C-alpha cells in the first residue's frame, strides 16, 4: 500500500470507526471497521478500544505504519481536549493527543470531529474547489461546525453555541430538538432559518454545507430556507470524520 494512503479514525459517543483512505480520491481502500464506544467513554476504556480498532486496521495493511489521524468530540487545542460531548467529562483538560500517541504507539494528528468533517468536504466533497469561506454545520445531538477559508481550516469554531433569542442555538435548532419536540419539517425549518440567517449575518460565507445523519433527508428542509448564501448537503456524512482525519494526518 503506497504512501498516498493514510488511516483515519473517528471517535464518537456510540462508536469508534476507521479505515485506510486514498488521499488522492478520498475513497476508502479498506472496509470501514468499527467498535462500540465503551459505556461512559472514560479515558482508559476509550484508549483501549481505539487501540483494538487500530490493530484490526493495521492487520489489513501489513507491516508498514501509515500516517494516522484521529478526530474526537471535543474542542482540541495544542493536543488538549477542552470539552467533551457524549463522552466522559474526565477528558476535559487532558493531554489527549499525547495519551493517544502513547496508547497507539505512533505519532498522530488529533482534531475536533466537526473540523475533520469540514475538511473532508473541502477536499473531497460538497466544498471541493470552492473559494472563500465555507461553513459546515452538522445537525445532530448538537450543532457542530467547521470554518474553511480557501481550503484552510480555522479550528474549534463551536457555532452551535451562539446565543440566539436568549437560547443556546443548538438547544432549539439541532436535529435532536426536532425529535424531542416532535416538530414538523416546516416548524424545524423555521428554526434553521433563524439560525443560518444569524450565522450568515455575522460571517457572510460563500457556501453552507449541512452534514449529520439528517442531511440524507435534505430535500425535506433545505428548500424551505431562504438565504443569500448557497446551502447544500454534505456528500460524505458517516465517513467524513474518517476522511478528514486521514487527510490531515499528512499535513
Torsion 161-84-151-235 (CA) sign:
negative
Q: What is the pLDDT of residues 24-68, one digit of tens each?
A: 999 999 999 999 999 999 999 999 999 999 999 999 988 778 999
Percentage of the residues of the chain whose pLDDT score is greater than 90 = 92
Higher pLDDT: 85 or 96? It is 96
Picking from 83, 88, 76, the residue whose alpha carbon sits closest to that of residue 45 is 88
CA 137 to chain centre: 9
Percentage of the residues of the chain whose pLDDT score is greater than 70 = 99
Find the length of the chain.
251
Distance (Å, rounded) from C-alpha 127 to C-alpha 219? Answer: 19
Under 8 Å between Cβ of 78 and 16: no
Under 8 Å between Cβ of 61 and 30: yes
pTM tops 0.85, yes or no:
yes
| Residue 8 cell numbers, joined | 483515519
Going by pLDDT thresholds of 50, 70 and 90, the confidence category of residue 237 is confident
Distance (Å, rounded) from C-alpha 171 to C-alpha 177? Answer: 6
Q: Report the SS3 class of residue 223.
A: helix
Stretch 75-82: mean pLDDT: 97
| Residue 174 cell numbers, joined | 439541532
Stretch 220-231: mean pLDDT: 98
Q: What pLDDT does 1 receive?
A: 45
Q: What is the pLDDT of residues 2-22, one digit of tens each?
A: 469 999 999 998 899 999 999
Going by pLDDT thresholds of 50, 70 and 90, the confidence category of residue 111 is very high
Q: What pLDDT does 3 receive?
A: 61
Domains 5-115+239-248 and 129-233 share a fold: yes
233 bridge partner residues? 210
Write down the CATH superfamily of domain 129-233: ATPase, nucleotide binding domain (3.30.420.40)
How do the domains of the chain map onto residue ranges?
Answer: 5-115+239-248, 129-233
Q: What pLDDT does 205 receive?
A: 98
Is the CATH number of domain 5-115+239-248 3.30.420.40? yes
Amino acid at each position: 500500500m503506497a504512501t498516498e494512503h493514510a488511516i483515519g479514525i473517528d471517535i464518537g459517543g456510540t462508536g469508534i470507526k476507521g479505515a485506510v483512505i486514498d488521499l488522492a480520491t478520498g475513497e476508502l481502500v479498506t472496509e470501514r471497521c468499527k467498535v462500540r464506544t465503551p459505556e461512559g467513554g472514560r479515558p482508559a476504556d476509550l484508549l483501549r478500544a481505539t487501540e483494538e480498532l487500530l490493530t484490526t486496521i493495521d492487520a489489513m495493511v501489513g507491516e508498514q505504519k501509515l500516517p494516522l489521524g484521529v478526530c474526537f468530540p471535543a474542542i482540541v487545542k495544542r493536543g488538549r481536549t477542552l470539552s467533551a460531548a457524549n463522552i466522559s467529562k474526565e477528558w476535559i483538560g487532558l493531554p489527549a493527543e499525547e495519551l493517544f500517541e502513547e496508547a497507539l504507539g505512533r505519532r498522530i494528528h488529533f482534531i475536533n470531529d466537526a473540523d475533520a468533517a469540514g475538511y473532508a468536504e473541502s477536499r473531497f466533497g460538497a466544498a471541493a474547489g470552492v473559494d472563500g469561506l465555507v461553513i459546515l454545520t452538522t445537525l445532530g445531538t448538537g450543532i457542530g461546525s467547521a470554518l474553511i477559508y480557501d481550503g484552510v481550516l480555522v479550528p474549534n469554531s463551536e457555532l452551535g453555541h451562539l446565543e440566539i433569542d436568549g437560547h443556546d442555538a443548538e438547544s432549539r435548532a439541532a436535529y435532536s430538538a426536532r425529535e424531542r419536540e416532535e416538530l414538523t419539517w416546516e416548524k424545524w425549518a423555521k428554526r434553521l432559518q433563524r439560525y443560518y440567517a444569524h450565522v450568515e449575518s455575522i460571517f457572510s460565507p460563500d457556501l453552507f454545507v449541512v452534514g449529520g445523519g439528517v442531511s440524507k433527508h435534505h430535500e425535506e428542509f433545505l428548500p424551505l430556507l431562504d438565504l443569500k448564501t448557497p446551502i447544500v448537503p454534505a456528500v460524505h456524512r458517516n465517513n467524513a470524520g474518517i476522511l478528514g482525519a486521514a487527510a490531515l494526518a499528512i499535513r
